[in-house]
Each structure stands twice: as C-alpha cells, then as structure tokens.
C-alpha cells in the first residue's frame, strides 16, 4: 500500500489531472483503490445542485454527512439530526448523481440500540434513499458485521467521531500517545475484519494515519489525518468558504463563496432601495399603444 505523502496532482495543471472513471463507482472499485495506487476523492453534498457540482468536479464518493445538522440545519453539533431528516437529503443527492458512489451517514441514535435496530435503519437509507453504502462512527465491529451480513456496505469512521463529542470532551485530535495509537490501530483492524470496505480517519496524527494505511487492506480516507491516506474528504461548505463558524486546521478553502454571496446579495439590496433594480430592460411591457393599455388598466 502506498504511503507517498505528496497529494497527487497538487501542483499539476488542470489538463494533467487524472480522469475520473466514466462508469459508475462501485464499492468493490473503492475497496480495491489501494491496490491500484489510486487516490480517492470524497466530498459531502446535501442537495441536488451540490450533488451535481461535486460529481462534475470528479468526486468518486459523495457522502451525505450528518454534518448537515450544522452546515445546513444550523445546529451547534451533529447530535440533533434525525434519520428522517438525513433521508430527505440523501434522496435529493441521489437524484443529482449518475456516477459517484453515494454513502449515507447514519446519525446519532440510529445504530446505538442494538444490531437489529441498526440494520433496520440502514435498510431505509438503501431502500428509500438510494444509498449504496452507509457510514458508521466508532469502534462497533458487531454493527459493521451485522450490516455486512445484510448486504449493506459499510464505511467505518475512527479518530475524532463527532457523535462522541461529549464522551471525547470536545473536538480534539485523537490517537496521540502510544496507548491511544495502539487502540485506534486495533479498532481499525477489527472494523476491517468485520467487513468494512473503507475507513475514514478524522483528526489523528499523520504518522498514525500512515501506520493504519499501511496495516489495512481497505482504503483509508483522511480528514485532518495527513497525506498518506488513500483518499481525502472535506465538507462542501468548508472547502468553498460557506461555513464560517468553525475553522478547523485541516480545512483548505478553495474559494470564499460565502463572502462572494454576501457581497452580491448586498448589492441587490442596495439596488432595490435605490430604485436601480429592476431596470427597464429587466421589465416586461405591453406592446399596444399607450392609449390602448390605459383603457385596459385604467
């Protein structure tokens, strides 16, 4: 498994970027990425236009993350979002995709009450939402195994798991120190053995992520986990500068759409108040002579 720390294509001209696969991305294709030496691109999306944008940009995997609780629904953390709310957004994203693999995040409470409950909730994301796989946070090999037996592919997630916010004592880097690193590596291996087809590593030391990537057959996808992972993911609103309440160290802003949108909306408000909008060219007119329309409209 490759541990090259240099992000593929970082300095390459757009014309030199590797072409994404043209046929639909499948779970086996993602699982085999390390053997091909191929870096995976994962992005979040929460509605139809976002799904179209991220797929057109070349994303291999599109995650409807429970981060929608914060960046779309305005909550302070991810704990409040429900299965029904997640499903609403998964369905919208499904309609915007034709090639990328759609993964649905299972929200807090949807897999904590036993494996039967977890399977029942995961089935909703596949049957109703059209997801190809689900994502599960934490060291829960029994849940991963049950879902795998039910033929529901599972993306695992270790490190900083936002649903464990209170148990972890906040949003903190995980896996620092020999004991914590050993526990994370052991958990990663348990999840792989249980049937997970990939593993998200969030906010862990780059050295630990490299060790996990080298130890596992399944691909690792990093978010704040260094460059040695087999793929990378960022939240749509973070990458584009739309969400400004949080500024994690690992986020690279490729645009400042929030600032651009505020400026454009402010210009509209100014034009309305000054009477500059709408102009004559932006208005409809009755082609009849003035005397004719005066008789009709008074």
Residues noted as catalytic: 202
CA 224, 230, 234, 240 dihedral sign is: positive
Q: Are 129 and 182 in contact (CB under 8 A)?
A: no
Strands 133-137 and 154-159: parallel
Dihedral (Cα; 20, 26, 32, 37), 10-degree rounding: 10
- Three-class secondary structure of residue 134 per DSSP: strand
∠ CA 193-165-180, nearest 5°, is 50
Of 222, 167, 251, which Cα lies nearest the Cα of 41?
222
**Number of helices and strands in the chain (H, E):** 13, 8
How many other CB atoms are there within 10 angstroms of residue 90's CB atom? Answer: 26
- Cis peptide before 278, with omega less than 30 degrees from 0? yes
Residues 6+ apart with CB under 8 A from 107: 66, 69, 78, 81, 82, 83, 85, 86, 163
Alpha-carbon torsion angle 34, 36, 38, 44, nearest 10: -60
For the chain, report the end-to-end CA distance as a whole number of angstroms.
79
CA 257, CA 117: separation in Å to the nearest integer? 40
Cβ(220)–Cβ(199) under 8 Å? yes
């Amino acid at each position: 498994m490759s541990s090259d720390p240099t992000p593929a294509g970082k300095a390459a001209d757009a014309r030199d970027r590797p072409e994404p696969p043209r046929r639909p991305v499948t779970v086996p294709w993602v699982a085999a990425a390390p053997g091909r030496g191929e870096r995976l691109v994962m992005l979040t999306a929460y509605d139809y236009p976002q799904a179209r944008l991220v797929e057109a940009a070349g994303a291999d995997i599109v995650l409807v993350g429970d981060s929608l609780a914060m960046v779309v629904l305005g909550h302070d953390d991810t704990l409040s979002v429900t299965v029904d709310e997640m499903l609403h957004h998964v369905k919208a994203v499904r309609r915007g995709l034709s090639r990328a693999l759609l993964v649905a995040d299972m929200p807090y409470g949807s897999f904590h009450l036993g494996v039967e409950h977890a399977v029942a909730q995961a089935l909703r994301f596949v049957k109703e939402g059209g997801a190809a796989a689900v994502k599960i946070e934490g060291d829960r090999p029994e849940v991963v195994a049950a879902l795998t037996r039910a033929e529901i592919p599972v993306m695992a997630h270790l490190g900083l798991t936002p649903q464990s916010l209170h148990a972890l004592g906040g949003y903190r880097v995980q896996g620092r120190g020999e004991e914590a690193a050993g526990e994370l590596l052991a958990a990663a291996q348990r999840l792989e053995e249980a049937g997970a087809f990939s593993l998200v590593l969030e906010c862990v030391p780059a050295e630990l992520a490299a060790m996990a990537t080298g130890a596992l057959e399944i691909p690792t996808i990093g978010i704040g986990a260094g460059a040695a992972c087999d793929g990378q993911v960022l939240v749509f609103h973070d990458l584009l500068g739309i969400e400004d309440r949080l500024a994690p160290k690992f986020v690279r802003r490729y645009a400042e759409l929030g600032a651009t949108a505020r400026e454009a909306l402010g210009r509209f408000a100014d034009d309305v108040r000054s009477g500059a909008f709408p102009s004559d060219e932006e208005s409809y007119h009755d082609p009849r002579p003035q005397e004719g329309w005066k008789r009709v409209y008074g």
